[in-house]
Structure 1
């Protein structure tokens, strides 16, 4: 049979017991063989090492074969995957810890994105559910960088998040001590002669006096091109950059 004209419809796995000379131990070697089917005949192709790609494909096949639990869509959920969860939080006053003191400050509407155990946070104008083309702003919060990544301080976040984790993740984020700015602060026209600690305290004290967060003082999240462009990025662009690296 001509294997070039036959379709590969299955893969056979062969496990070989390998003894190492001079060492009193054995190893298992897994080889993958494409099975070519044509008519009533099947031919076992040449063996190849069972690669990382093969393992990934096998896991996906096994995962698809298992019926997932059904869950009601959380109203704030924006996207969900095996290692990814994105949701939004409308603007509201929130208590945060800064240098051991609690400040209750107005916050802008926020977009949270947890991907591979790293949490990213950005802001946006208004309080409605953000759309794919919503322009994102810097979070205006300490411990958050210009691309939204949060300095977690050792907090553990779920590897496979689901919608039930949303409130818990927010608790971890807001109850963790905020210690420093990392590029996502708003421009509140504070004096330039303060050190980092004084600036953070003055920043929170200024916000406590406001009814709403001054969103107009937030810069836009830089475009995904190395995060160094002046053009704003949309939520869709930001999501794809974080989750797909593009």
Structure 2
């Protein structure tokens, strides 16, 4: 309720009919002068990114205050969530067998209204915006870093609590085919992919050979983490 004892703000939404641009301004609600009854709007102020974040948090009934984030988080917004796993040994599931072998570091990108993506990176250091991305050396991988979902359950909501389910989809889904790209350099068939991991297992390899990673870039050049995230914003 408007009252001289209540501090009120008004928000105006402006839409340009020709360009389609939408802008928002914030105005103080102030009493009329000279003892007149009623209120009017003060001068407007353009909404800042901070204002938008605070408003969204208010509407979603969320606390938008500062918080500590896990070290594995690389990027977080309301529409994109990106995190990574360091290189490690894993029991890679194939039909009728699991092959224990090393996998490179993996970067996961969940974005609203887009297919879930996963890429590999070289080394063991925490990825930066300039980190070059490679295809995850697994089966079922499509160009662009997406996966054949089959009957898998892939969360659609960009929420942190879905991270275990996304990782489970990538690492625990059965590898059944090579997708649309060559996931490991020199492995031109799905059987070749299995033989590659069998060989790593038999040798007791602890690290994935970086030379076998396939670039996720194009003829224009390598794909960086920042570029991949920007494509999902």
With the shorter chain as reference, the TM-score category is 0.5 to 0.7
Partner of 2:142 in structure 1? 145
* Secondary structure, aligned partner of 1:151: coil
Matched, 1:127 2:120: no
Among 183, 207, 216, which residue is 1:185 paired with? 183
Deviations 1:102-160 (A, max 9, x none): 11111111111112373211111101101111111121111122321122223131503
- CA distance in structure 1 between the aligned counterparts of 2:154 and 2:119, rounded to whole angstroms: 20
- CA distance in structure 2 between the aligned counterparts of 1:151 and 1:69, rounded to whole angstroms: 38
Matched, 1:201 2:194: yes
Aligned 8 A contact 1:106 1:213 in 2: yes
Aligned 8 A contact 2:87 2:124 in 1: yes
Q: Structure 2 length as normaliser, TM-score?
A: 0.68
Q: Structure 1 length as normaliser, TM-score?
A: 0.65
Partner of 2:78 in structure 1? 82
Aligned 8 A contact 1:142 1:184 in 2: no
* Secondary structure, aligned partner of 1:110: strand
* Secondary structure, aligned partner of 2:102: strand
Deviations 1:16-46 (A, max 9, x none): xxxxxxxxxxxxxxxxxxx9x8983768xxx
Partner of 1:27 in structure 2? none
Aligned 8 A contact 2:106 2:118 in 1: yes
- Quote the offset at 1:80 in angstroms: 1.6
Among 217, 236, 241, which residue is 2:212 paired with? 217
Matched, 1:231 2:221: yes
Partner of 1:104 in structure 2? 100
- CA distance in structure 1 between the aligned counterparts of 2:193 and 2:95, rounded to whole angstroms: 9
- Quote the offset at 1:221 in angstroms: 1.3
Aligned 8 A contact 1:146 1:184 in 2: no
Deviations 1:75-97 (A, max 9, x none): 11111223432111111111121
Query: Could you say if the C-alpha distance between residues 146 and 214 of structure 1 is closer, same or farther in structure 2, counting changes exceeding 3 Å?
Result: farther
Ranked by relative contact order (alpha carbons within 8 Å, sequence separation 6 or more), the top structure is 2
- CA distance in structure 2 between the aligned counterparts of 1:216 and 1:230, rounded to whole angstroms: 21
RMSD: 3.5
Q: Which runs of 5+ in 2 are unaligned?
A: 1-8, 14-26, 33-37, 41-51
- CA distance in structure 1 between the aligned counterparts of 2:66 and 2:10, rounded to whole angstroms: 31
Aligned 8 A contact 2:133 2:224 in 1: yes
Query: Could you say if the C-alpha distance between residues 61 and 216 of structure 1 is closer, same or farther in structure 2, counting changes exceeding 3 Å?
Result: closer
Aligned 8 A contact 1:82 1:160 in 2: yes
